[in-house]
Amino acid sequence: LSDNNVFYILIDRKENVWIGTWGNGLNRYNPQTNSFTRYIHDPKKANSIANFGIDCLLEDSHGKLWIASEIDGLDHFDPETGVFTHYKAGKKQGSISSNGVLSLFQDSKKRIWVGTTAGLNLFDSATQSFKVFRQKDGLPNDGIMGILEGSGGDLWLSTNKGLSRFNPEQES
For 37-86, the pLDDT digits (tens) are 999 998 898 888 987 789 999 999 999 999 999 889 999 999 999 999 99
Q: Cα–Cα distance between 92 and 43 in angstroms, integer?
A: 23
Report the half-sphere exposure of 12 (CA within 13 A, side-chain side): 23
pTM of the model: 0.94
